[in-house]
């Protein structure tokens, strides 16, 4: 599995059958290797599973790539056309928010959930800084837990000062490939440092490299967790925005709208102003949460722009 890439060589995690141990090996992609059907600028990304062959001179070549379960992309940089794959085969994406400082933005969570649905990623909502919640904050988080659980989403909370909550988080990360996404200040770095003290050093190494120009920061890395699993560390991940969704498709990514939208009079109903709209009706009857409907309208607006 590719754990690091510079675009010209790849660090590949392997299981050594002879020594019965895990390790990494450097591999190159032979020039003849092409993936013509992809509209992307990089044929391989971290998280990809590949087949290697050992060359006579002791180097390794990548011979084949396994089909991806999913992948996340961003617009290619440096004026290049198309998209760049940031990471592949991700088991779950965490959206991190903090109950206070900064406060929870439900719109951010809902936008993230839609993006995950579109990318076919399993989302997990993580509310941090529960030590700052107070009674009011706790009640608010309880409401959010009820809402998102009713929509079949996984929602967790934690505090870096609550060991038990971090242990619980570890059980969700164990043996999975996860990515953490969220605005700055919510505690992503702190959480990761608390669950695996090695992470801090590893993250620091990456930026050290880039300072020397040895390592281009546009490429992601998979950081191994000591208790099993990987964390995707990618510089471009903050741009994880809305993908290309047509306005009339948006409601397909809101689980609670799937049934009501079948009762709309118009096929291309956007559930915002149209008469005889099943979604508006469900919202007015209280079957769709007001905050969620508000998030829907905001996203619809930005898609139309
Ligand atoms: P990031 O930008 O998301 O990586 O956030 P940081 O990890 O840099 O944390 C931002 C600030 O929040 C720092 O001052 C942390 O010490 C603080 N912080 C992180 N987690 C918690 C928490 O669970 N409780 C409290 N009270 N503060 C936290
Ligand atoms: Zn409608």
Q: Name the percent of the chain lying above pLDDT 90.
A: 66
pLDDT of 31 higher than 80: no
Same domain, 13 and 139: no
Residues near 170 by Cβ (< 8 Å), separated by ≥ 6? 195, 227
Name the closest ligand to CA 279: 2
Same domain, residue pair 174 and 122:
yes
Give the position of tokens 């043996």: 175
Regarding whether 234 and 97 lie in a shared domain, the answer is yes
Same domain, 224 and 267: no
Q: Which residues surround ligand 2, an ion (CB under 5 A)?
A: 264, 269, 271, 277, 279
How far, in Å, from the CA of 190 to the mean position of ligand 1?
6
- Residue 46 contacts residue 221 (beta carbons within 8 Å): yes
The yes/no answer to whether this complex scores an ipTM above 0.90 is yes
- Burial of 52 from C-beta contacts in 10 A (0-12 / 13-18 / 19+): middle
Task: Give the CATH number of the domain where residue 117 resides.
Answer: 3.40.50.300
From 258, 265, 251, 261, select the one nearest 297 (Cα to Cα).
Answer: 251
Q: Say yes or no: 67 and 136 in one domain.
A: no
Q: Of the ligands numbered here, which is closest to the C-alpha atom of 160?
A: 1
Indicate the SS3 state at residue 187: coil
Q: Give the pocket of ligand 1 (CB within 6 Å).
A: 128-129, 131-132, 159-161, 182, 184-190
List the Cα angle 292/297/299 in 5-degree steps: 95
CA of 108 to the centre of ligand 1 (A): 18
The residue written with tokens 């003290």 in the block is 197
Ligand 1 atom nearest 190 alpha carbon: 7
Burial class (CB in 10 A: 0-12, 13-18, 19+), 256: buried
Query: What is the domain-level CATH number for residue 262?
Result: 1.10.40.50
Q: Which of 87, 113, 146 is the last residue of a domain?
A: 87
CA-wise closest residue to 233 among 220, 214, 216: 220
Report the atom number in ligand 1 closest to the C-alpha of 192. Answer: 7
Bond into 253 cis (ω within 30):
no
In 3D space, the residue among 129, 138, 183 whose CA is nearest the CA of residue 158 turns out to be 129
Pick from 2-11, 150-159, 207-216: least confident: 207-216
Q: Which of 13-17, 110-114, 240-244 has the highest mean pLDDT?
A: 110-114
The atom number, within ligand 1, closest to the CA of 193 reads 7
d(C-alpha 242, C-alpha 118), whole Å: 9
**Are residues 98 and 225 located together in one domain of the fold?**
yes
Runs of H (alpha helix) within 21-179: 106-119, 134-150, 163-173
Q: Which of 87, 112, 134 is the last residue of a domain?
A: 87
End-to-end CA distance of the chain: 39
Give the Å distance between the CA of 46 and the centre of ligand 1.
Answer: 27
Spatial distance between the Cα atoms of 232 and 137, rounded to a whole number of angstroms: 30
Structural domain containing residue 75: 2-87
Instruction: Determine the distance separating the centroid of ligand 1 and the alpha carbon of 128, expressed in angstroms.
Output: 8
Q: Note the ligand closest to the C-alpha atom of 282.
A: 2
Identify the residue with better confidence: 89 or 221: 89
Give residue-wise pLDDT tens across range 78-92: 666 677 788 999 999
What is the atom index within ligand 1 of the atom nearest the CA of 160? 23
How does residue 245 score in pLDDT terms, banded at 50, 70 and 90? Answer: confident
Q: How many residues does the chain have?
A: 305
Ligand in closest contact with the CA of 250? 2
Which of the 8 DSSP states describes residue 56?
T
Pair 37, 106 in one domain = no
3-state secondary structure of 97: strand
- Write the CATH number for 13: 2.40.50
Q: Are residues 71 and 100 in the same domain?
A: no
Do 111 and 214 reside in the same domain of the chain? yes
Q: State whether 20 and 117 are in the same domain.
A: no
**Range of 9-23, 130-144, 223-237 with top mean pLDDT:** 130-144
The number of the ligand 1 atom at minimal distance from the alpha carbon of 101 is: 12
Number of domains in the chain: 3
Question: Are 233 and 173 members of one domain?
Answer: yes
Read off the pLDDT of each residue in 283-302 and give the average, rounded to a whole number: 97
Please give the pLDDT value at position 111: 93
Assess whether 67 and 175 both reside in one domain: no
Listed residues 87, 122, 144: the one ending a domain: 87
């Amino acid at each position: 599995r590719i754990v690091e890439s510079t675009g010209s060589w790849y660090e590949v995690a392997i299981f050594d059958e002879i020594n019965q141990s895990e390790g990494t090996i450097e591999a190159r992609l032979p020039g003849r290797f092409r993936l013509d059907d992809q509209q992307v600028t990089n044929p391989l990304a971290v998280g990809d599973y590949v087949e290697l062959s050992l060359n006579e001179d002791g180097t390794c070549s990548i011979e084949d790539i396994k089909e991806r379960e999913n992948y996340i992309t961003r617009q290619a940089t440096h004026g290049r056309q198309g998209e760049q794959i940031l990471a592949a085969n991700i088991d779950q994406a965490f959206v991190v928010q903090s109950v206070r400082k900064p406060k929870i933005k439900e719109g951010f969570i809902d936008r993230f959930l839609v993006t995950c649905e579109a990318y076919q990623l399993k989302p997990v909502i993580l509310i941090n800084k529960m030590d700052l919640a107070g009674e009011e904050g706790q009640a608010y988080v309880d409401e959010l837990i009820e809402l998102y659980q009713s929509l079949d989403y996984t929602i967790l909370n934690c505090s870096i000062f609550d060991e038990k909550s971090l242990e619980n988080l570890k059980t969700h990360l164990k043996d999975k490939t996860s990515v953490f996404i969220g605005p700055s200040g919510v505690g992503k770095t702190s959480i990761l440092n608390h669950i695996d003290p090695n992470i801090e050093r590893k993250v620091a190494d990456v930026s050290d490299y880039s300072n020397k120009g040895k390592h281009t920061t546009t490429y992601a890395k998979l950081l191994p967790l000591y208790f099993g699993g990987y964390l995707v560390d990618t510089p471009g991940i903050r741009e994880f925005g809305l993908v290309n969704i047509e306005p009339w498709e948006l409601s397909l990514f809101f689980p609670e709208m799937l049934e009501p939208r079948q009762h709309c009079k118009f096929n291309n109903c956007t559930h915002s102003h149209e008469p005889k709209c099943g979604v508006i009706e469900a919202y007015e009857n209280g079957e769709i949460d007001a905050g969620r409907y508000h998030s829907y309208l905001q996203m619809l607006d930005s898609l139309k722009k």
